[in-house]
Structure 1
Amino acid sequence: MNQSVVNVNQNNISPKITNPRWERWKAFYKQMKKNKMAMVGGYIILFYILVALFGPLFAPHDPLEIDLLNKLQPPSIEHWMGTDDKGRDVLSRVIYGSQLSLTVGVVSVLIGAFFGIMLGLISGYYGKWIDTVIMRIIDILLAFPGLLLALAIVSALGPSLINVMLAVGIFSIPTFARIVRGSTLATKKLEYIDAIRALGASDAKIIFVHILPNILSPIIVQGTLRLATAILTAAGLSFLGMGAQPPSPEWGAMLSSGRNFLWNAPHMATFPGLAIAIIVMGLNLFGDGLRDALDPRMKK
């Protein structure tokens, strides 16, 4: 009797092995799918990434090739987005410009996130006079409007795309620092942190192994939203002549060139402007969806 029961159990019961990490990803994706606008934003971002990676392989023309005989041509079969004042194909320049704009945005956010996370972790974990000094420096940076601070930095360093990345990265530091500091203050008071400290763990291990992984959600959300701000700010600096320099096919610089031909060749400014507006919209939509999916308070 007992033997038959054992056989039945062995034949009919098979333990289900699940991967906790995979289950978390599935739950995250289901939560994101509920937000249709966030999915739209994700598809927009994916499209721009694919264009930046593979678009130059299919660009119809050289973005720097000058053809004065065909300058200011309206959109046509040969030039889908028309040509600019020097006869260069606008579509090809927009495609190549996606590489520059996304690179500037990602590098700027990485710079701001790295230093902001370090300052926020140190300030929130150690507190006391260290927290006071760091937060006063952060308050000074926050006292200046972001674009104005970036403009001042680029003016001091000189106009170039690298200096734009540094400037946008610097003015992104305070936002990350304040978010990380607040999350660190809340996390370090939890009981498991006290237990780990009682076991003799070093401050570095507590900060980077036990605190940082548990506060990544707000950092990821802020990084996505900050990427939109970085792209927009970089385009604004290039529009003012402080960023990418001609003949670089950067969207802000293209807008600056096209503003002089709004009446007789509006396509010169329209298509780069749409490229900026759509990617910024996509990043904001996706960032809002990430916030809703990663915030436990938004889950039922």
Structure 2
Amino acid sequence: MNQSLITPAAPHTVIRPGQLRKFLTRMAANKLASAGGLIVLFYIIVALFAPWIAPYDPYNIHLPDKLLLPSWDHWMGTDDKGRDLLSRIIYGTRLSLLIGVAAVSIGAIFGVFLGLVAGYYGGWLDAIIMRIMDILLAFPGILLALAIVSALGASLINVMIAVGVFSIPMFARIVRGSTLTVRKLEYIDSIRTLGGSDLRIILVHILPNIMSPIIVQITLRLATAILSAAGLSFLGLGAQPPSAEWGALLSSGRDYMFSAPYLALFPGLAISTLVIGFNLFGDGLRDALDPKLK
């Protein structure tokens, strides 16, 4: 008999149209989540179409126009080198989203791998992996990132690596807990009895069933990654001049807090708005995907 015909099907590995419809209905009913999703979508559109949206070249220095107040010609004013602040914030959206996505990708890839291995195999391997994660969690995230960037040097790539590294423990712990729950289900034992390899069980039957908490964590960590990267750039350890990254813009604007406060105000608003958007959207995802609500 063909083994595939008697292999038990993993529950919920395929999203059915009815389930997707319920999920979208829950998301639409959550006004805060919808608002957060619209904010995130707005910034994604801005990042994708920055060259067509930005009214000026963000790196074009024009000293006669330095420190102009917001006006019809320069909606957010100009900086100390005469560069249009709105254009720099628009282009900075690309950098901030890139840093967030890259950092969270690093954390998710390594964290999910370690969590799956620890949760599935258990024993001494689980103990070693989790103790390493506990050591990383013992350090406040921003301090760990500061230490890594200080060791590697100030640059955007090193900021991505640093923020990604302190995101690994969160993914590992969440995935390990979910894996421990799924691996005890009867269909996993049945697949193993029928000769299913560990790799196939992990990738085909466990990972798809624990994607909900991973997706929620990715969304929430994007907000943390963008905020942490902006903080490192503000301290001079991330994006370097003349980069238009939001944290760097905020750092340069602090020197003009009294004479030109808009130089710090508008980048700060951009950072806080995008972070709030991701948090609202992530909270909505968590509520919509919560098994207790199904």
**TM-score tier after normalising by the smaller chain length:** over 0.9
Match of 1:196 in 2: 191
2:286 counterpart (283, 288, 291): 291
The aligned counterpart of 1:144 is: 139
Contact 2:46 2:53 in 1 (8 A): no
Once the two structures are superposed, the pairs formed by residues 18-33 of structure 1 within 5 Å of their partners are: 21-33=16-28
* CA shift for structure 1 position 55: 2.4
Q: Kindly indicate whether residue 163 of structure 2 is the aligned counterpart of residue 168 of structure 1.
A: yes
Q: Which residue of the partner structure matches residue 5 of structure 2?
A: none
Match of 1:217 in 2: 212
Q: Which position in structure 2 is the counterpart of 1:86?
A: 81
Shift, 1:251, TM fit: 0.3
Answer yes or no: is the 8 Å Cα contact 2:96–2:245 preserved in 1: yes
Aligned-residue sequence identity (percent) comes to: 69
Give the structure 1 partner of residue 277 of structure 2: 282
Q: Which residue of structure 1 lines up, in the alignment, with residue 10 of structure 2?
A: none
Larger Cα-atom Rg: 1
The within-5 A match list for 1:44-63 is 44-63=39-58
Is 1:111 the counterpart of 2:99? The answer is no
Q: Note if 1:238 corresponds to 2:233.
A: yes
Q: Spell out, residue by residue over 1:13-61, the C-alpha distance to the aligned partner (whole angstroms, 9 max, x if none).
A: xxxxxx9633322111101111100000000000000000012212111
CA distance in 1, matches of 2:40, 2:53: 19
The whole-number CA distance in structure 1 between the counterparts of 2:290 and 2:152 is 39
Aligned partners of 1:58, 1:97: CA distance in 2, in Å? 13
- Corresponding position: 1:181 with 2:176: yes
Cα deviation 1:216-249 (Å, max 9, x = unaligned): 0000000000000000000000000000000000
- Structure 1 partner of 2:120: 125
Q: How many residues align?
A: 281
- Select the residue among 134, 152, 156 that pairs with 2:151: 156
TM-score, length basis structure 2: 0.94
CA gap 1:20/1:211 in 2 versus in 1, 3 angstroms: closer
List gaps (5 residues or longer) in structure 2: 1-13
Letter in 2 for 1:265: A
Dislocated runs of 4+, deviation >4 Å: none
Instruction: Confirm or deny that 1:262 pairs with 2:257.
Output: yes
Rounded Cα–Cα distance in structure 1 between residues aligned with 2:51 and 2:267: 16
